[in-house]
Structure 1
Amino acid sequence: MRKLFFVTLSVGFLFLSNNVFSKNIVINPFVHSELNSATEEKLIQHVIRIKELVSHNPKYNQDIAFFIDMHVMSGKNRFFVYDLKNDILLDQGLVAHGFGSRIKSDGVQKFSNESGSLCTSLGSYSIGHSYNGQFGKAYKLHGLDATNNKSFSRNIVLHKSSDVPYEEQNGQIGYSFGCPMLNEQYYQRIEKRIDDSKSDIILDIYY
């Protein structure tokens, strides 16, 4: 059985927790909730797929990737930073999704690749160059699948917003126009990882 590890730094100390679905993950400042077994299992399934993707293309970062589980409520941590080499869950935080993908009264959540839908698009993305826009520094996203290959023309980018809280919430948080939108404090950590990378990092959004 694959093992999932979570590593965080707290007051100069390194905490390591070994999780095999049944064990709890150590909760430290970077972590605000434990992953339930279903979320962990789904994450590992997508990690396996992304490992396969990057192994065939040296353009992509072989060490880390980002994952967003759209099945997790937006008020809970669902943006994951994963160490592909050592199978370590490095970080997690809140991320807002598109208004068009809000969960309606009937419980249905819609995803779309179409312009004007304001929806989140599922699929794998290559994180491109940064630019300064409405929300400050943001990163272009290049969709790699049929479900998100219009993301660049839709101006779907990875950006921050003061409207996204840092701490987990009991309910849904705000919405974007279709972009993955992070809390400003959490974004600083993600931004550093992107800028320090010499190759393109993959972002995988799934449900």
Structure 2
Amino acid sequence: MKSPLKPLFLAFAAAATLLGGPCAQAQQWRGIQLDPQGLIRPQLLSLALQAYEQHADAKFAQRKIAIVDFSKPSSQRRMFLLDLSSGLVSAFLVAHGRGSDSDHDSMADRFSDEMGSHASSLGAYLVSEPYQGSHGLSIRLDGLDSTNRSARDRAVVVHSQWYVTDKLAEGGKVGRSFGCFVVDRAVIKQITQQLANGGFLFASR
């Protein structure tokens, strides 16, 4: 499949620089205003789009990208699904690895690509094939950076589990994974439909 990517041209409103808040951003991509709701930090959105362009040879086949903001606690919706056709964003809860949060205070503060670390990894991923595993519907990931190159060998995937729900988040945190991006069972089908077989995921803090 021919890659839809073209060079990115980003336009930043002066207010974004002055105020630094999500509501102040105004980023354009191929004539489309991205994230009009102001849900994603402008700097993080810019980094994700740069990574998307950098890894164009991965031949992303989907028009949706996922951006995970690990600077936020697990109690907040910090996985952002961005539609590159409309610019609109949906936000979801996502767990991080227990190796990234040894004191279970809801903040990921350590990242690793090492086998057995049970930590989350930062960087860009190709969202690959869906499958039925021990956690039900899941999606395999292929790491594209030196920080997450072992994702497939580590079995770092997107899946759902009981410990990621709005009710648990109201208590201050959701559960922790072994490094996987774990979402609410209620949304795994939606995320799979929009990202599997050629989507892009970018995790940063």
TM-score (norm 1): 0.74
Tell me the residue number matched to 1:87.
Answer: 87
Tell me the residue number matched to 1:21.
Answer: 23
Tell me the residue number matched to 2:146.
Answer: 146
Secondary structure of 1:146's partner?
coil
- Note closer, same or farther for the CA distance 1:41–1:138 as it changes in structure 2 (3 Å cut): same
Tell me the residue number matched to 1:166.
Answer: 166
Structure-1 separation of matches of 2:110 and 2:182: 18
Cα displacement (A) at 1:155: 0.8
**Residue type matched to 2:164 in 1?**
V
Structure-2 separation of matches of 1:170 and 1:35: 25
| Structure (1/2) with the larger helix percentage | 2
Q: Does 1:75 align with 2:75?
A: yes
TM-score (norm 2): 0.74
Structure-2 separation of matches of 1:136 and 1:150: 22
Unaligned runs of 5+ in 1: 4-18, 24-33
Aligned 8 A contact 1:122 1:206 in 2: yes
Unaligned runs of 5+ in 2: 1-10, 14-20, 26-36
For residues 126-169 of structure 1, what are the alpha-carbon distances to aligned partners after superposition, in whole Å with 9 as ceiling and x for unaligned?
Answer: 11112221101111110000000011111111101122103542
Structure-2 separation of matches of 1:130 and 1:62: 14
- Note closer, same or farther for the CA distance 1:73–1:103 as it changes in structure 2 (3 Å cut): farther
**Residue type matched to 1:164 in 2?**
V
Tell me the residue number matched to 1:185.
Answer: 186
Structure-1 separation of matches of 2:127 and 2:108: 29
Secondary structure of 2:41's partner?
helix
- Note closer, same or farther for the CA distance 1:143–1:108 as it changes in structure 2 (3 Å cut): closer
**Residue type matched to 2:41 in 1?**
E
| Structure (1/2) with the larger strand percentage | 1
- Note closer, same or farther for the CA distance 1:47–1:87 as it changes in structure 2 (3 Å cut): farther
Cα displacement (A) at 1:189: 1.4
Cα displacement (A) at 1:104: 3.8
For residues 37-67 of structure 1, what are the alpha-carbon distances to aligned partners after superposition, in whole Å with 9 as ceiling and x for unaligned?
Answer: xx5213321243144236x337203522111
- Note closer, same or farther for the CA distance 1:179–1:108 as it changes in structure 2 (3 Å cut): closer
Aligned-residue RMSD, C-alpha? 2.8
**Residue type matched to 1:21 in 2?**
C
Cα displacement (A) at 1:173: 1.1
Aligned 8 A contact 1:157 1:179 in 2: yes
Identity %: 27
- Note closer, same or farther for the CA distance 1:46–1:162 as it changes in structure 2 (3 Å cut): same
Structure-1 separation of matches of 2:125 and 2:58: 15
